[in-house]
Chain A
Amino acid sequence: MAEQTRSFIGQTPAAPAGRGTARLVWRRFARRPAALFGLAIILVFLIVAVGAPYIAPYDPDEADFFRARQGPSRDHWLGTDELGRDVFSRLLYGARISLRIGLIAVGIGVGVGVPLGVVAGYYGGAVDNIVMRLVDIMLSFPSILLAIGLVAILGPGLENAIIAVGVVAIPVYIRQVRASVLGVKELEFVAAARAAGASDARIMWVHVLPQCISPILVQSSLQIAAAILSAAGLGFLGLGAPADVPEWGTMLAKGRQYVFSASHLTTFPGLAIMLVVMGFNLVGDGLRDALDPRLRGR
């Protein structure tokens, strides 16, 4: 009891999120075949992205002009591109780029959006007003348009495309986290922490933020899908990765001129984007359902 009292006064423990909850969420997640299918896609995607140098049968940059634009065969499972490079190997390496795009973009969104959302929601008043007006302005642009606008300023290129896609995600996180904080900060355990003498910073980061993790998790899964799709769109427009980089959108854009004679150059990169985006969307949906307390027991 004495130890408990001390911990309340000195350190104010965070609201518990037990292992039992995680198990319950997993059980409800695993009950949905679609969510499991999405998870399987993501796992394969991760394995491919990490292990590309070991799995790829060819060097992705090795050209063979005598075998240019050949359809799928035993030697080249998904055919060759306009320079005779192996499409399958390039797709495997492309997975690494897509993974990087998804993770960095979400990192930018979470890194900037979450702190701003927490501060805006917690303090309210003028801070909230300023942050939310900025969010309103950013959300006044359709997301792909905002990304294109940013790339127009920063200049085309993969790094700039990733930054642009990440910046687009920031207002989404701010709005969502702020909404969660508004609900959580009125709860009794926050009042208790305040009564125990915890500072605003401690209440925000140790008590309030952990309660907002579920929606952030769901949003991140959906945002990775959106980031990969947007970056591929920028690549397709020629505003993303340079032409020699095996980024899926750029590969598709290159193959586009041969769409009527060598359609595999557009089909396979397109299908890869679609599958991965679908995987993250399915996992995001599954997580949302599994974490939604209103659906508990269903």
Chain B
Amino acid sequence: MLPYIARRLLYAIPTLLGVTFLVFVSVRLIPGDPAVAIAGERATPELIEQVRLELGLDQPLLTQYGRFLLGLVQGDLGTSLRTRLPVAPEVWRRLGQTLLLAAASLLLASVVGMFLGIVSATRPYSIFDNAGMVLALLGVSTPVFLLGLMLMLVFSVELPKMLQLSGPILPPTGSGTWKHLVMPAVTLGAYSTGIIARMTRSSMLDVIGHDYIRTARAKGLSERVVTYRHALRNALVPVITVQGLQFGTLLGGAVLTESVFAWPGLGRYLVDAIFLRDYPVVQAAILVIAVGFIIINLVVDLVYGLVDPRIRYG
């Protein structure tokens, strides 16, 4: 197992370097003088010069990248142009909120998705199967902003009005309590629910066709034991991978959900920064989400290797 882990970690290094380089270069690709673009069209020549010096734009590109990497290793993500404060503390605080939202969504998507997948696979082509797969399809096709706004409309306005309640059942925006988390988590998790349900179904159907399942049935085991102890365990291996990959996708997808529900996460911070042309914040937020995505993919690979020895030695 150790050589496998070492190999995977080594593979991740060039990707991490590539991602940091891409993000670093992208800010310098903004058309025109990056210092002017960052400081703003109406900035004074002194401010433009200050930005140029701060970013080290007067130095060779590789030197700049070296300094950027060194800063990253020391936890320095730059300084916001708007607040003039270091970006890192705000990024970590908001990352916590995004991780909370993504984790809640994944938990929900896993429970509901696997349930739908198992129900569909154990009764293939029945009405349960069709209903489960229609739900999965709706999850995959519904834009998060539509689902979010519709949930808001129902649980914060229409239902309370119908039931003559004094306030909303679930708060439409904000954060702080579990009630605030419900609608954003359902919204963000809908897509992953669909993916996990479809994966669970096809993986279960694949496993159910194998000889050892026939053997298990032939030796008189109950259908329940065959389904849950023999089929599901083996069918779960690819599902675990999908769940891991979905966690990364949820980190990215959170950008939209956070905008709908005014959730104080990294995604909303990023979008606000784009409008304010606060490029150090844009750079830091994209970098942190991308590195998080790589780390999650790495962990998924390692877990996959752990549960399926064929991958390790392949």
Binding site for B on A (CB under 8 A): 34, 133-134, 136-137, 140-145, 148-149, 151-153, 155-156, 225, 229, 232-233, 236-239, 249, 252-253, 256, 259-260, 263, 266-267, 270-271, 273-274, 277-278, 281-282
Q: Which residues of B contact A225 (CB under 8 A)?
A: 141
Within 5-24 of B, Cβ neighbours of A (below 8 Å) are at 14-15, 18-19, 22-23
C-alpha spacing A249/B149, complex, angstroms:
13
Q: Is B282 an interface residue (CB 8 A)?
A: yes
Q: Which residues of A contact B253 (CB under 8 A)?
A: 142, 144
Would A232 and B286 count as touching, CB distance under 8 A?
A: no
A196 to chain B, nearest CB (A): 36
B117 to chain A, nearest CB (A): 15
> Which one, B145, B152, B275, contacts A233 given CB within 8 A?
B145
Taking A142-B248, A153-B30, A252-B145 as known contacts, 11 extra A-B pairs with beta carbons closer than 8 A to each other, sorted by chain A number, are A136-B14, A136-B15, A137-B15, A142-B251, A143-B249, A148-B274, A149-B23, A156-B274, A237-B255, A263-B149, A270-B146
B187 to chain A, nearest CB (A): 12
Would B286 and A141 count as touching, CB distance under 8 A?
A: yes
Would A140 and B26 count as touching, CB distance under 8 A?
A: no
> Which one, B23, B31, B252, contacts A142 given CB within 8 A?
B252
Q: Which residues of A contact B300 (CB under 8 A)?
A: none
A233-B143, A273-B146 known; A140-B251 Cβ under 8 A: no
Top 3 nearest A-B pairs (CB, nearest first) are A142-B252, A270-B146, A137-B18
A133-B14, A136-B18, A274-B143 known; A144-B275 Cβ under 8 A: no
Would B274 and A137 count as touching, CB distance under 8 A?
A: no
Would B152 and A277 count as touching, CB distance under 8 A?
A: no
Q: Which residues of B contact A266 (CB under 8 A)?
A: 146, 149-150
Q: Which residues of A contact B19 (CB under 8 A)?
A: 137, 140-141
What are 7 inter-chain pairs, A to B, with CB distance below 8 A?
Answer: A137-B22, A140-B19, A151-B274, A239-B271, A263-B149, A270-B149, A273-B143
> Which one, A145, A237, A277, contacts B259 given CB within 8 A?
A237
Q: In terms of DSSP, what is the predominant structure of the interface of chain B?
A: helix
Would B141 and A259 count as touching, CB distance under 8 A?
A: no
Would A232 and B153 count as touching, CB distance under 8 A?
A: no
C-alpha spacing A134/B290, complex, angstroms:
14
A237 to chain B, nearest CB (A): 5
Would A236 and B145 count as touching, CB distance under 8 A?
A: yes
Would B150 and A282 count as touching, CB distance under 8 A?
A: no
Would B141 and A281 count as touching, CB distance under 8 A?
A: yes
Q: In terms of DSSP, what is the predominant structure of the interface of chain A?
A: helix
Would B149 and A256 count as touching, CB distance under 8 A?
A: yes
C-alpha spacing A137/B297, complex, angstroms:
12
- For chain B, the bracket of interface size reads 35 or more
Binding site for A on B (CB under 8 A): 14-15, 18-19, 22-23, 26-27, 29-31, 137-138, 140-146, 149-150, 152-153, 157, 248-249, 251-253, 255-256, 259, 270-271, 274-275, 279, 282, 286, 289-290, 293-294, 297
Q: Looking across the interface, which residue of chain B has its beta carbon closest to that of A134? A: B18
Would B255 and A149 count as touching, CB distance under 8 A?
A: no
Q: Which residues of B contact A152 (CB under 8 A)?
A: 274, 279, 282, 286
A49 to chain B, nearest CB (A): 18
Q: Which residues of A contact B22 (CB under 8 A)?
A: 137
> Which one, A151, A237, A263, A281, contacts B256 given CB within 8 A?
A237
Q: Looking across the interface, which residue of chain A has its beta carbon closest to that of B19? A: A140
> Which one, B143, B153, B248, B251, contacts A263 given CB within 8 A?
B153
C-alpha spacing A141/B248, complex, angstroms:
9
- With a 10 A CB-CB cut-off, give which of B30, B146, B293, B297 has the most chain A CB atoms: B146
B22 to chain A, nearest CB (A): 6
Would B146 and A239 count as touching, CB distance under 8 A?
A: no
Q: Looking across the interface, which residue of chain B has its beta carbon closest to that of A263? A: B153
Would B14 and A239 count as touching, CB distance under 8 A?
A: no
Q: Which residues of B contact A238 (CB under 8 A)?
A: 275
> Which one, B15, B249, B270, contacts A148 given CB within 8 A?
B270
Would B26 and A149 count as touching, CB distance under 8 A?
A: yes
C-alpha spacing A137/B294, complex, angstroms:
9
C-alpha spacing A281/B140, complex, angstroms:
9
Would B251 and A259 count as touching, CB distance under 8 A?
A: no
- With a 10 A CB-CB cut-off, give which of B14, B152, B249, B256 has the most chain A CB atoms: B256
C-alpha spacing A134/B17, complex, angstroms:
11
Q: Which residues of A contact B255 (CB under 8 A)?
A: 144-145, 148, 237
C-alpha spacing A229/B139, complex, angstroms:
13
C-alpha spacing A80/B310, complex, angstroms:
59
Q: Which residues of A contact B249 (CB under 8 A)?
A: 142-143
Q: Which residues of B contact A249 (CB under 8 A)?
A: 143, 145
- With a 10 A CB-CB cut-off, give which of B19, B141, B259 has the most chain A CB atoms: B141
C-alpha spacing A238/B249, complex, angstroms:
21
> Which one, B27, B142, B256, B293, contacts A140 given CB within 8 A?
B293
A141 to chain B, nearest CB (A): 5
Q: Which residues of A contact B152 (CB under 8 A)?
A: 259
Q: Which residues of A contact B26 (CB under 8 A)?
A: 149, 153
C-alpha spacing A151/B297, complex, angstroms:
25
